[in-house]
Amino acid sequence: MAIKIFIVDAFTDQLFKGNTAAVCLPSQWPDVEIMQNIALENNLSETVFAVKEDDGYRLRWFTPTTEVDLCGHATLAASHVIFSLLEPENENLKFYSKSGDLAVSRQSDLYLLDFPAWPPAPLNEPPLLAAALGAEPLAVYQSRDLLALFRNQDEVTSIQPDLSLLKQIPYLGVIVTAQGQDVDFVSRFFAPRVGVDEDPVTGSAHCSLIPFWSKRLNKDHLTARQLSPRGGELSCVHKRDRVLIGGHAIMYSQGEILL
C-alpha cells in the first residue's frame, strides 16, 4: 500500500513557522497499529489520516504515542491539502470525527475551523501544578485540558516547565494563558503525557481558551497568539456552543509512504 503524505505548516503563512502536521490520505483505513507507527515515524506533534466518507472526510489524529479525539492544527493542515489539491472549487468541507461533525470553510487564503466550545470550569489547584510550571498561577480551570491563568504575557513567556512533573497531572495537556499585550490573549500548551512536550500552536486548546477569554473580556471576536518558539496567530470567534478558529497554512512537502 502506498499512502500519499503531505507536510504542512499550520496557523502561519510562512514556512518553518506555526505548527507542523503530517496529512496522510490512504484509500482505505490502515490498521490502528500502522497509523500509530506512521505517527511515531513522522515524529511530529500530530499526524492526521483523512478518508473520504459520504459527503465529507473522516479524520483520525495521532501524536507519536497515542490517538487523540481532536486536533485543530492537523485539521487545518488536512483542509489546506484537500482544498488545494482535491477540491479546489469547494469553499466548505465537512469532517467526521470522535469529537462529532466538524466544518471548515475558506475565505480567500484564511481557513475557519468550526469546532465545539469547551468552557473551562474553576478547579482547586492540583498540588503539583505550581512546581511543574515553576510559577504560581492566579487561578486554575479544567475542561479536556487543565488551564492555568497568569497575570501577564511576560509570565507566560518565562515559564520553564518540569515535564516529568507535568506528566503526573492527569489531563491530556496543560494550557498556560494571560491577557496579551497586542492581542486579546496569549497561551502556551504542554502535553508530555501524549508525547508532545510543547505544542507550537494548538487549535483544540482554543476550544477552551475562546469561551474563557470571551467571557472574561466580554467580546466574541478575539485575536490570539501562541508563544512557542515557532509561534502562531489565530483569529477567534465565540458562538455559544461552538467556536470559530481562523488561520493560514502553507505546504512544505509531499510524497508517499511505502508499506
Contact present, 21 and 47 (Cβ < 8 Å): yes
Asked about 198 being catalytic, the answer comes back as no
CA distances for 126 relative to 137, 141, 166, 230, angstroms: 11, 10, 11, 29
Which has the closest alpha carbon to 229: 4, 12, 5, 27?
12
Contact present, 23 and 78 (Cβ < 8 Å): yes
- Dihedrals phi, psi of 113, to nearest 5 degrees: -90, 125
> What whole-number distance in Å separates Cα of residue 202 and Cα of residue 254?
23
Query: Choosing from 33, 46, 136, 198, which is the catalytic residue?
Result: 46
Contact present, 12 and 248 (Cβ < 8 Å): yes
Which has the closest alpha carbon to 218: 179, 182, 189?
179
Contact present, 133 and 159 (Cβ < 8 Å): yes
C-alpha cell at 115: 469546532
> What whole-number distance in Å separates Cα of residue 177 and Cα of residue 151?
9
The tally of CA atoms less than 13 A away on the side-chain side of residue 102 is 33
Contact present, 61 and 77 (Cβ < 8 Å): no
- At residue 202, the 3 state secondary structure works out as coil
- Which residues form the catalytic set? 46
